[in-house]
């Protein structure tokens, strides 16, 4: 934290000087019972649109806290437009992906159901909660959105025309990710991209053909070792951010 606020919260409310923000019950409880906030304490707020603001606790009960917004401390920054489309994995590692992808700066996460996907239900609300918490802690100015699970073929059929796909293929035949990204050219900060990561065990042959033949697809390799799906996601985001994002 680089403000003097001990707490930084994402709120679904307009932010501007002198506005009042009523926290929901979960956040009120956290602030009063966990952080022991008192009247007059400072809290940093962001909502993904109006920049970051410092506020002070105006009223506080365990059930409801009202904050008074004071000054803007950061202007809203544009974030790279990078989706993470990944075959969902088991609980602990799904939490992990949502947190880490948020820290690393993706704009949207979408679980993709593939033939070898083992997980049936994906707790997207839990992913969204993890994303909010990570965004609060990493000083991001917005929170990535979380899409509902979608089948791979449907996702590719309705794929946005202008969004490129960085497909991390486990068969290692792709060009080195670093080289492929460098060849894309100068950072086109507005260009939308997506990283596509398969399930443990990989996409099957039919799926791989579908992906590789997609006109927006760039197939890349992440080195000679077999990475687990979550590791591959983190590595791919890091390389993309360095080459085309805001690192």
Q: Which residues of this protein are in contact with a copy of itself, per CB under 8 A? A: 77, 96, 100, 103-105, 137-140, 176-178, 221-228, 231, 234-235, 238-239, 241-243, 245-247
Nearest one of 171, 182, 183, 166 to 219, comparing CA atoms: 166
Residues 6+ apart with CB under 8 A from 23: 9, 11, 31, 64, 65, 66, 67
Q: Least distance from C-beta 128 to a copy of itself, angstroms?
A: 18
Q: Is 159 helix (H, G, I), strand (E, B) or coil?
A: coil
CA distances from 191 to 152, 188, 216, 227 (A): 22, 5, 12, 27
Residue 236 CB, shortest distance to a copy of itself, in Å, is 8
Q: What is the DSSP string of 178-240?
A: HHHHHHT-S--TT--EEEEE--TT---HHHHHHHHTSTTEEEEE--SS---HHHHHHHHHHHH
CB of 21 to a copy of itself, least distance (A): 23
Residue 134 C-beta: closest distance to a copy of itself, Å = 9
Q: Rounded to the nearest whole angstrom, what is the least distance from the CB of residue 130 to a copy of itself in the complex? A: 13
Q: Which is nearer to a copy of itself, 5 or 113 (CB)?
A: 5
Q: Which is nearer to a copy of itself, 48 or 245 (CB)?
A: 245
| Least CB distance to a copy of itself at residue 3 (A) | 12
In contact, 25 and 158? CB cutoff 8 Å: no
Shorter beta-carbon distance to a copy of itself: residue 150 or 202: 202
Closer CB to a copy of itself, 145 or 231, in the complex = 231
Residues 224, 235: Cα–Cα separation, whole Å: 13
Secondary structure of residue 10 in the 3-state scheme: strand
231 Cβ neighbours under 8 A, 6+ residues apart:
none
Residue 43 main-chain phi, psi, to 5 deg: -135, 130
Residue closer to a copy of itself by CB (options 126, 214) is: 126
| 63 versus 91: smaller Cβ distance to a copy of itself | 91
């Amino acid at each position: 934290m680089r403000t003097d606020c001990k707490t930084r919260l994402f709120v679904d409310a307009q932010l501007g000087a002198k506005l009042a923000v009523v926290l929901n019950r979960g956040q009120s409880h956290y602030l009063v019972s966990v952080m022991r906030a008192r009247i007059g304490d400072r809290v940093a707020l962001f909502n993904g649109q109006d920049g970051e603001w410092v506020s002070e606790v105006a009223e506080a009960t365990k059930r409801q806290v009202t904050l008074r917004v004071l000054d803007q401390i950061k202007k809203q920054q544009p974030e790279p437009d990078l989706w993470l489309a990944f075959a969902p994995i088991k609980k602990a590692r799904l939490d992990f992906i949502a947190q880490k992808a948020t820290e690393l700066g993706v704009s949207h996460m979408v679980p993709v159901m593939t033939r070898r996907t083992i997980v049936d239900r994906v707790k997207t609300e839990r992913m969204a909660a993890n994303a909010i918490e990570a965004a609060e802690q990493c000083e991001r100015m917005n929170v990535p959105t979380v899409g509902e699970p979608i089948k791979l073929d449907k996702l590719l059929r309705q794929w946005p025309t202008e969004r490129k796909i960085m497909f991390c293929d486990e068969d290692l035949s792709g060009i080195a990710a670093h080289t492929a990204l460098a060849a894309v050219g100068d950072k086109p900060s507005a260009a939308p991209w997506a990283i596509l990561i398969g399930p443990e065990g990989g996409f099957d042959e039919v799926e791989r053909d579908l992906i590789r033949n997609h006109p927006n697809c760039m197939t890349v390799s992440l080195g000679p070792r077999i990475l687990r799906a979550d590791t591959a996601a983190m590595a791919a985001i890091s390389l993309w951010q360095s080459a085309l994002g805001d690192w």
